[in-house]
Copies of this chain bind each other. A is one copy, B any other.
Amino acid sequence: MTTATQSHHRETLQRALTAIRERSYWSAYPENLKAYGGEDAPGSQSPADGKAAFDDYLGKPFPLRQSGTDGEVAGERSPYGIALGVTYPHADVDTMLAAATAAIPTWRSAGPDVRAELGLEILHRINARSHEMAQAVMHTSGQAYAMAFQAGGPHAQDRALEAIAYSYAEMTRHAPQATWEKPQGKRPPQRMTKTFTVVPRGVALVIGCNTFPTWNSYPGLFASLVTGNAVVVKPHPGAVLPLAITVAIARDVLADAGFSPDLVQLAAEQPGEGLAKVLALRPEVKVIDYTGSTGFGTWLEQNAHQASVFTEKAGVNPVVIDSTDDYRGMLANLAFSLSLYTGQMCTTPQNLLVPRDGITADGAHKSVDELAADLAAAVDGLLGDDARATALLGAVVNPGVLERLEKAPSYGDVVLASRAVTHPDFPDAVVRTPTVVKVDAANRDTYLQECFGPVSFLVTTGSTAESIDLLRESVRDHGAITAAVYSTDDKVLDATEEAALDAGVALSENLTETVYVNQSAAFSDFHATGANPAANSALTDAAYVASRFRIVQSRRHLPADPPVTP
């Protein structure tokens, strides 16, 4: 790293530290696809560069040399129907954890400034390769290209930087050294010098998910690394490539700076190996970050006692629909939210709570059936053109999603049917539009569990007050990452805000423009809260980083009188 680069990274970190306090709009990494690869962005890949880099991985072993490699793991199949044929090194667990542990003391000694700087350098290099990452994320998660680029690239990088900023703030909130001088009345004061050292917890395990391999993994990865831990990245077997690229870049940066590359290692697993479970119980592993099913998340929380465990699990995201003065805007916004990435987001609304008697829209009454028909029309309009539809929907990530979609009609009245879409470029891709099923609020077993994928419920309730109670209760008992409300009545908004505080879920109110409930902006929106069963922490805040390290102090006397300079 040149001095200019170091100074640039330091400026970026300072700006990020301001951003996490102010929480107004800021981004370090441009989300515009065209901002990369041109003359204004020397060193970054163009879309064609990214495609070429991606193609170069296909059909061969991924270029990652890790100590303790004892085999090869077959890689992913793209949700777009093409075979990737990439293979990954498999590591012996003992060797991997020994290498990670051995790398820690030097990394600890480097201190918060150097670690943060190298975290920023890793992000800088990842950012330059965002088009390559977009291909990798697209062909593992099934996201459409533009979304894979933004969510898998700059947005994930922003979230990583946010985690670095929080970590840096917490590591440096105390003086690293202090002189302590306690008066003793007429006797000389007690005088001591004290040193406070940031000490990492040990090895941190990051367990990636299939749908957002980078966005959901980066905060934990970078927070743990920058606080001094060694990180083992266990990708989802269906989404290895984005994290393999990430790990390779991180190792290069660390090695270039004279640190052990084993501070970041990839733990690709054989089919059925259950490597996450094995790693999660190892005594060396002191921090675990996980995104995925409630079942395994709960298992981690209840069994990995030696570690601080951060989980994001399933939820039933509710939307209270009471009234609106922008019916078109509301329908368009909801249609987009239900369709984006085929509803395969932890933030997609699941339960649309609407009074049986209907709602008020633009001053007029709308029955539930009218609302259902209008919402269906809005989705059909949005997704009418196949090419445009696939750019929004992406592809179905795995057969489980398809199974749930096919089972959906059995739950109630289908008010919006799913249809198959043909992808113009990838004929083997499985692309589906979302479905909406009307159910009565009494059918609790149906809608009070997460139905991950493009299945939402129009839940009819006795009144908006009952809808709000249901929001509170369903989030408190079953979890949610997002919640929303549509109302023209301030009392309804106030009551919904109170319910959201009680249940502990972020609330979006009257979204009728181009901000969607699915989206959380780094440096401003907190993703998840940690206050309901859908996640045991926010990603990212102080509580998310503060227990990834400890402060260890030493103290010794200073002479009672200041020493005389020789």
Residues of A at under 8 Å CB distance from B?
Answer: 20-25, 105, 108, 169-170, 173-175, 178-182, 184, 190, 192, 194, 196-197, 199, 201, 301-302, 305, 497-498, 500-502, 504-515, 521, 524-526, 529-531, 537-538, 541-543, 546-547, 550-557
Contact = CB atoms under 8 A, between A and B. Distances in A.
Contacts of A174: 20-21, 23
B554 A506 contact: yes
A179 B26 CA distance: 11
A501 B552 contact: yes
Contacts of A301: 305
A199 B531 contact: yes
Given A552-B505, A555-B508, A178 B24 contact: yes
Contacts of A305: 301-302
Nearest to A286: B531
For A21, A504, A554, the residue with the greatest tally of chain B CB atoms inside 10 Å of its CB is A554
A531 B500 CA distance: 36
B521 A550 contact: no
For A301, A514, A524, the residue with the greatest tally of chain B CB atoms inside 10 Å of its CB is A524
10 contacts: A21-B175, A24-B180, A199-B529, A201-B531, A500-B552, A504-B550, A505-B552, A509-B555, A513-B557, A543-B547
Contacts of A179: 24
Given A550-B529, A552-B529, A552-B531, A194 B524 contact: yes
Contact of A501 (B20, B175, B199, B525): B199
B24 A557 contact: no
Contacts of A180: 23-25, 521, 524
A198 to B, nearest CB: 10
Nearest to A198: B501
For A174, A197, A498, A510, the residue with the greatest tally of chain B CB atoms inside 10 Å of its CB is A174
Contact of A525 (B190, B194, B497, B502): B194
Contact of A542 (B524, B530, B546): B546
Contact of A108 (B501, B514, B538): B501
For A181, A190, A541, the residue with the greatest tally of chain B CB atoms inside 10 Å of its CB is A541
Contacts of A170: 542-543
Nearest to A553: B506
A282 B174 CA distance: 36
A104 to B, nearest CB: 9
